[in-house]
């Protein structure tokens, strides 16, 4: 830059500063986004109480307590999600589990009100009416938070719902251990109990119980009763609220039914059936799976299952469900589409949000009338099943969460496809009939290997 140009630029800058100083323009001081009537500037701090995560496999991790001061047992799992901790903690699929977050800091944007959002009466703002996980393990809990929707800290929230938390532990070491040995029974011990590990017989195994019965609604209820869209029955195995929002926002009238409700006795009142996500082992609700088999055999309307709902569809179809080593929990799971159907294109990889411990077994030959829909690019597990064109049925099942909350929205239009199919059916041209299906399990495995090596 020439000397003359530099001097000219300096003079211009000086004149601009002088002009601004004489003007009446005031630039407000930047502040944090949290409303001033919260506890951001006077946070409620937890007392310095020791805490420990004891695992049945013998390891113990010591840190400091936050949230509830009561000790809890559960199944220790980890999530690779880097955001949406409030959505994860309120997801009923985490019922009975001690949740380890791999993200180093949790709580920095606080916790919002859980009141229904405008336009969605009867549906919580978060994924359920309260915290579902048994305990929380973090590397560093944030006691101060900032977000325009925040009303309380993570510590205060956990305290209200009697959920203990531990901070100041090496979550990377815990995650590595769980990846190697699999999800492990544990105890989040607080106070005097932190110093002594429980005996082997004291650990509680939630997978031995019917967790779906605990998570499901006890009475039927209807959302968006004045809607102009199709009437959809939702069997509630522990549904996330965003599944209901995703259906209602597309105009559907949604009737939520308990997990063991005899849908076949009322099925002709509905245009479609939705099977929700939920916690635990799908074999705990085999009776429901057998009723769904009857529905598939005798009913010709669309059926869509997500997560637990997908596994129930698989059991109804004759596939086998198995327990994975550490499951898939996070917002970054790539899945390969093996069939084109509706908004889904065969051969494309979609990034998905997931939360499950069980999966359907990939067999060399699928049951007649069924084909693999998606496969996981990381571990070749079955991520979806679909009825074949020859079956004459319109059934989808996916292991992942198209509605996310949180996570990517790569597959969100599957809800649009399903609602449209329920609304217009075959008369409007089917969106759910599969095309370009790779039938055999061998084809699915080969496709997964090719995708993983690409």
69 a catalytic residue: no
Establish whether 401 is a catalytic residue.
yes
Place of tokens 């919002």: 112
Number of Cβ within 10 Å of residue 35's Cβ equals 12
Which helix (H) or strand (E) element contains residue 141?
strand 140-141
Rounded to 5 degrees, φ, ψ at 423 are -75, -50
Residue 406, preceding peptide bond in cis (omega within 30° of 0): yes
Give CA angle at 331 (326, 332), nearest 5°: 85
List for the chain the helix, strand, coil content (%; round to 5): 30, 25, 45
- Residue 91: which residues within 8 A CB-CB, separation 6 or more? 127, 128, 132, 240, 277, 355
Q: What angle do CA 369, 238, 342 make, to 5 degrees?
A: 40
Which residue in the list 133, 158, 307, 422 is annotated as catalytic? Answer: 307
- Are β-strands 184-190 and 72-79 bridged in parallel, bridged antiparallel, or unpaired? antiparallel
> Is 307 part of the annotated catalytic residue set?
yes
Q: Which residue out of 310, 331, 356, 401 is catalytically annotated?
A: 401
Active-site choice (127, 156, 383, 403): 403
How far out from the chain centre does Cα 97 lie? 14
How many CA atoms lie within 13 Å of 271's alpha carbon, on the beta-carbon side?
18
The catalytic residues are 307, 401, 403
């Amino acid at each position: 830059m020439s000397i003359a140009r530099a001097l000219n630029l300096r003079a211009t800058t000086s004149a601009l500063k002088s002009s601004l100083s004489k003007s009446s323009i005031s630039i407000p001081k930047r502040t944090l986004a949290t409303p001033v009537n919260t506890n951001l500037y006077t946070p409620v701090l937890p007392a310095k109480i020791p805490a420990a995560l004891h695992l049945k496999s013998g390891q113990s991790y010591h840190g400091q307590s936050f949230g509830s001061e009561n000790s809890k047992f559960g199944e220790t799992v980890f999530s690779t999600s880097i955001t949406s901790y409030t959505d994860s903690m309120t997801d009923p699929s985490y019922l009975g589990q001690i949740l380890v977050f791999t993200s180093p800091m949790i709580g920095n944007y606080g916790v919002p009100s859980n009141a229904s959002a405008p336009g969605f009466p009867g549906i919580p703002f978060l994924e359920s009416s309260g915290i579902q996980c048994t305990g929380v393990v973090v590397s560093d809990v944030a006691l101060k938070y900032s977000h325009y929707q925040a009303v309380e800290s993570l510590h205060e929230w956990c305290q209200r719902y009697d959920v203990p938390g531990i901070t100041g532990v090496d979550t990377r070491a815990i995650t590595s251990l769980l990846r190697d040995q699999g999800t492990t029974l544990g105890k989040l011990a607080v106070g005097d109990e932190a110093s002594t590990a429980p005996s082997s017989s004291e650990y509680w195994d939630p997978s031995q119980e019917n967790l779906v019965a605990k998570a499901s609604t006890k009475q039927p209820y209807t959302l968006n009763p004045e809607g102009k869209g199709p009437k959809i029955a939702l069997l509630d195995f522990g549904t996330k609220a965003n599944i209901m929002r995703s259906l209602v926002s597309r105009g559907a009238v949604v009737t939520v039914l308990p997990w063991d409700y005899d849908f076949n006795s009322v099925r002709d009142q509905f245009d479609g059936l939705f099977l929700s996500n939920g916690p635990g082992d799908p074999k705990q609700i085999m009776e429901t799976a057998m009723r769904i088999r009857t529905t598939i055999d005798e009913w010709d309307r669309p059926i869509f299952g997500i997560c637990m709902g997908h596994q129930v569809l698989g059991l109804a179809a004759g596939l086998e469900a198995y327990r994975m080593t550490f499951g898939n929990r996070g917002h970054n799971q790539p899945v390969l589409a093996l069939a084109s159907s509706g908004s889904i294109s065969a051969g494309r990889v979609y990034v998905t949000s997931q939360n499950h411990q069980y999966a359907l077994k990939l067999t060399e030959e699928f049951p007649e009338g069924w084909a693999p829909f998606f496969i996981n690019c990381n571990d070749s597990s079955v991520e979806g099943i679909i009825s074949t064109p020859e079956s004459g049925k319109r059934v989808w099942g996916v292991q992942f969460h198209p509605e996310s909350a949180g996570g990517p929205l790569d597959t969100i239009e599957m809800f649009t496809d399903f609602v449209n199919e329920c609304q217009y059916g075959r008369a409007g041209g089917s969106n759910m009939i599969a095309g370009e299906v790779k039938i055999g399990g061998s084809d699915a495995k080969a496709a997964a290997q090719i995708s993983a090596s690409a």
